[in-house]
Structures are given as structure tokens and as C-alpha cells.
Amino acid sequence: MWFTQPIPEATVALEDATLGALERALVADLDRAQRSIEVAVYDLGRARIGTTLASAARRGVRVRVVTECENRTQARSLLWAELAAAGVEVRDDRSSFAGLGDGCPEEGGEMHHKFIVVDGELVWVGSMNLTSTDLNYNHNHAFRIEDGAVAREFEQEWEDLWAGYFGRAKAPRAPRAFEVGDARFEIGFSPRHAEAGVETSVTRQLVLRSLEAATSSIDLALFALTDAAVGSVLGQRADLVRGVVDATLAAHASSRVPALCSQGAPLFVDNFPGKVHHKLAVIDGAGPSPIVLGGSCNWSAGGFEENDETLLVVRDAALGSLAARHLDELIDHDAHRAAPCCFHAAEAYDVASARCDDRPCVCDNGLDDDFDGSTDEADSGCAAAFSCAP
């Protein structure tokens, strides 16, 4: 299991020359590909990854990519054209919100997967898009799994996408269980249901079942926590819950974070320069049988019932311990030491914010962190430091 190591200075993090350990390992695996590379990714904008895929195609590896239609246009169009010129085959889900996207006329959910299959034997899967932001600026994770049976499971999902079956057009399929070394996996894909007539997706079922099995702790690092069923189960177990949530959606009308806070769960609204883009949980992390949940699937109705997503449930003592330490570092980080349940805008800052020279990084990173159309000092959240209500 790999974690990104975000760099606070966005100008450095987003440079093509910046190369973190996770990206270095991923590129090395792609460079070793001999027969095939199959990619399903919501967003691909990282020049180094594009160059690596193009190089593989030129040396005879069959490289095929499925992506989100809306992310093939505008700023990304040049990279996609370069990939096509190198022989990389590309398809997308043809859809956009309400079918209003330029060149994406169909209405549907997002092709939100983030996985790669190499030579039918190796899988990379997690929460990170193949972008500079997700690799170097946001908090993300990835599993690297060397196992032919697991790879075939991902290839089956990928082949359905390649054939044009996205979102609810995919046939029902129950989650599958695997063993790799000492680790036991369950893998489910959104928005598949286990069988026709089942009311909820396999990914929501996997999350609910895992949460209900907790005996001592539920630690979270989540970009979105808006699903009603998940929020209800967490509320019933609020005494076990703690975590860090991204500021973008924490106070949104659909967020379950305020309700959990009112029930006593210490959830920290992040104050990092980049986003908490994880969809990560560790259950009973201090015990002998920890459970790790990860992948691309946000804990939202869209993530469970509309979008193409992956959710993994992993039972492994060593990996559980590793993920638990990572969550400890995020939850206990000085950046949001002011108080749990301190709701603030994603582009706001306090005295603990990371500094870039003498300025808060979040107000000088060139990114629209809260998706409101305003960036850095133009955003009202950066006008003054925030304070937490008592």
C-alpha cells in the first residue's frame, strides 16, 4: 500500500520535474510492461504518465485507456491527442451531467475509476487520478497487487467499460473474494448490484457490513461523507468514530459530518493546502484483525449508485497497521489542531496553515479549492483567518 507525500508549495508540487515515490514505482511498473496496459481513470493530466504510456505503445505494448468524457476536452485535449498519435487507444463514457458537456451528449454518472492492469498480472488501484495535483499535492492512497486472479477481476470490469457498458448499464455482479499471501480481499464495483432486485449496490453493502463489524475503532480519511445509510450506521457507532474530512464538502447540505459531530464523533475538517482525497477507513486498527477500506469510491449516493467505482475491503495485519499509522498522522496533524468539528471554507486558513514563504499556501496555490469560481485572494475565504465557534 502506497500513500502520496504531498508538497505544500503548489508551484513545486505541480511541476513536471517533481517525482514522488509512488509515481516512481508506478512508472517503473509501466516501463516493464511487455504485452498490455489497461487503464480506467477519471482524469489523466500528468505529463510523465502520458509520456510513459506513449513510450509503451511505441515499443509494441497494447495500451488502452477508458476515461471520463468531460476530462478529454479543453486543457486535457492536447495530451489525449499526443497519446492517440503514439498509438494509445482511448474511449470514454460519452456522458456528462445532464448531457450538457461539450462533446459528451449522454446523461449519466462519472467514470470515476482509478485503476491500471499491467500484463494481466499486476494491478494499481486507489483514490488518485493520474494528475500532478493528485500525485503530489493531495492526500491519496494506492494498492499495488501482484496476482493474476485479482488482475482478471479488474480486467472483467475494464472490458465491460471498453465495450460501452457504464454506470447502471453494467450487469449485476456480486463482490469477489481473493487471497494474496496473508491478505484477504473483497473487491466490489459501483454501481453494480449483487443480483437483479437487490436494492443497494455492492459497494455500499461492503462499507455498511465493515462498519457494523467494528468492535473498537473506526478511523476515517474521506473526501466525501454524504451517504444517508452510511451516516446512519456511523451515528449509531459514534463513540468508535474519529477522522479527518476534506473541507470542500464537510459543511455541505448533504454532508453527514455535522450530525456525527453533534453525536460526539471527533471529525477534523482538514486545513491542509491540498485536499484529503482519500476514500479510506481502518476498522479496529489496533486489534489483531484490522480491516482496511479503500479505492476510488466516495461514501456518497453518487459513489455507490451512479458512478463507475472500485471499493476494496482488505484484511491483513501488516497492511492494517500501516494504514492505521497513516490515519493517525492525518487525524493528529498540527494543521487542524484548533479543534475537531471546526467548519470552515476550503480556501480559508488559520495560524496552523502551511506557509509558502510568508503566505498561507492554500491562498497562494493557483487552485480553486472550494470549486466556487474564485481562486486564492479572490476567494472571500482568504480575506481573513477563520476562527472556530466554541
Residues marked as catalytic: 112, 114, 119
Q: Which residues contact 207 (CB under 8 A, 6 or more apart)?
A: 230, 281, 293, 299, 304, 311
Contact status, residue 164 vs residue 52, Cβ threshold 8 Å: no
164 Ramachandran zone, left/alpha/beta (phi>0; psi -120 to 50): left
| Residue at grid coordinates 482511448 | 90
Residue 172 to residue 160: CA distance in whole angstroms: 12
DSSP string over 30-87? HHT-SSEEEEEES-B--HHHHHHHHHHHHTT-EEEEEE-GGGGSGGGHHHHHHHHHTT
The CA-atom distances, in angstroms, between 317 and each of 55, 104, 131, 282 are 38, 44, 31, 11
Cell of 273: 493546502
Strand, helix or coil for residue 183: strand
Q: Which amino acid is residue 285, in one-letter code?
A: G
